[in-house]
């Protein structure tokens, strides 16, 4: 049987696809099992959601009930409450008992329950609150839904671990009242562990500030980059295990070109492996890596160009300078003169706009392009 590509990106992965993250996995597992309320902050494409999913799988094996909801998937506050209530009630519940279980748990606001059949004939449970129309109705519903985990833990005599992914999106629901209502509910749920995970670090940091409800509500984990040498060894090992011979330094070169962003690293390794496989070869070297990168840049040219054209002229100039200067000293007179940048205040405004658009992120004391392919395209295709 031909080996599968050992590098995975663009989907949630299991423990076998992780390079390291052992410390983060153990800490998150321990805290959730103990009923802690954990805040996990991570830039996009660092593997946050895969880490959470893997931890929840491990907790389920310990007979802890697990629930996972992506907050940003909901288009409204009521929509979020519906999806959250549905996930809580359906968690490890036999289909024959769903209606009764929902009736026992939701007493203030009665839900509408549906059992639909999907394309392969499987029954699907859906829950909605069509009677919720006013702000007052929504507040009553939120109080009941946010109390559900504690009630479920008590009724089942079982611990819960709940993951609310892309948690920063909750700030857009109904002003700040959502944070107050949720904090008030979870602080007394001793048998329920929560991970509030967000991939917009600046928003998450503000949510944890001293004037916000979740200030000092629980430990904060910040997902950092993986050790470069360890990641490089992981990549070389994966090539070898799949029957390919990597040239010395290949793994390190992939990590460097992809700016050590886990998603980008896996993408570049995956595509390089595919190209070598298609060529029917067993040896993969640095020239092959750069050939794959050139192919990817060609395929992504239209997308990159459209993104570039949406930027204002100051934003384009600042982005190009950021790429060429490795994100450092962008406000200095020397850099501004060398790249014909506008005044420092305009540069700052442009940087803030690029961060809001997720084109750039702040990493330590410098700014970096969020996507390594876009960074390479800017460096090679703009002037």
CB 234 within 8 A of CB 266: no
The three state secondary structure string of 54-108 is HHHHHHHHCCCEEEEEEHHHCCCHHHHHHHHHHHHHHCCCCHHHHHHHHHHHCCC
Residue 13 has pLDDT above 70, yes or no: no
* Encoded tokens for 321: 């300078």
Q: What stretches of 218-257 adopt beta strand conformation (E)?
A: 220-222, 245-246
CA angle, 46 as apex, 312 and 74 as ends, to 5°? 75
pLDDT category at 9 given cuts 50, 70, 90 is: confident
Give the β-pairing of 283-284 and 360-363: unpaired
Interatomic CA distance for residues 217 and 38, integer angstroms: 8
What pLDDT is attached to residue 119?
65
* Encoded tokens for 151: 């009630």
- pLDDT tens digits, residue range 41-91? 998 888 899 999 999 999 999 999 999 999 999 999 999 999 999 999 988
The pTM assigned to this predicted structure is 0.86
Residue 314 has pLDDT above 90, yes or no: yes
- Structural domains of the chain, with CATH: 21-222 (3.40.50.300), 228-299 (1.10.8), 302-381 (1.10.10.10)
Residue 20 has pLDDT above 80, yes or no: no
110-119, 237-246, 295-304: range with lowest mean pLDDT: 110-119
- pLDDT tens digits, residue range 260-273? 999 999 999 999 99
Report the percent of the chain where pLDDT is more than 70.
96
What pLDDT is attached to residue 101?
84
């Amino acid at each position: 049987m031909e080996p599968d590509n050992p590098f995975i990106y663009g989907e949630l992965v299991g423990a076998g696809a992780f390079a390291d993250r052992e410390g983060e996995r153990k800490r998150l597992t321990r805290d959730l099992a103990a009923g802690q309320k954990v805040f996990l902050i991570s830039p996009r494409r660092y593997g946050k959601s895969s880490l959470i999913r893997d931890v929840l799988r491990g907790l389920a094996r310990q007979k802890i009930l697990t629930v996972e909801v992506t907050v940003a998937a909901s288009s409204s506050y009521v929509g979020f409450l519906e999806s959250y209530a549905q996930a809580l009630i359906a968690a490890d519940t036999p289909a024959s008992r769903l209606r009764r279980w929902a009736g026992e748990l939701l007493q203030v606001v009665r839900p509408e329950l549906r059992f639909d059949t999907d394309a392969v004939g499987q029954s699907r449970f859906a829950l909605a609150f069509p009677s919720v129309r006013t702000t007052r109705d929504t507040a009553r519903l939120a109080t009941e839904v946010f109390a559900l985990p504690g009630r479920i833990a008590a009724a089942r005599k079982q611990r819960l671990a709940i993951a609310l992914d892309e948690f920063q999106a909750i700030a857009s629901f109904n002003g700040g009242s959502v944070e107050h209502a949720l904090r008030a509910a979870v602080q007394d749920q001793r048998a329920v562990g929560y991970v509030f995970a967000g991939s917009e670090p600046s928003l998450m940091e503000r949510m944890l500030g001293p004037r916000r409800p979740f200030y000092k509500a629980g430990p904060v984990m910040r997902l950092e980059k993986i050790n470069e040498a360890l990641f490089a060894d992981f990549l070389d090992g994966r090539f070898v295990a799949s029957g390919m011979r990597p040239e010395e330094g290949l793994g390190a070169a992939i990590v460097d070109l992809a700016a050590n962003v886990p998603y980008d690293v896996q993408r570049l390794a995956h595509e390089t492996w595919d190209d070598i496989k298609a060529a029917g070869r067993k040896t993969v070297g640095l020239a092959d890596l750069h050939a794959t990168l050139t192919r990817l840049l060609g395929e992504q040219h239209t997308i990159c160009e459209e993104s570039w054209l949406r930027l204002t002229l100051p934003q384009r100039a600042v982005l190009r300078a950021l790429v060429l200067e490795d994100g450092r000293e962008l406000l200095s007179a020397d850099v501004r003169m060398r790249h014909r940048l506008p005044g420092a205040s305009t540069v700052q405004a442009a940087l803030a706009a690029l961060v809001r658009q997720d084109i750039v992120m702040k990493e330590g004391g410098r700014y970096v392009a969020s996507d390594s392919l876009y960074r390479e395209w800017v460096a090679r295709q703009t002037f």
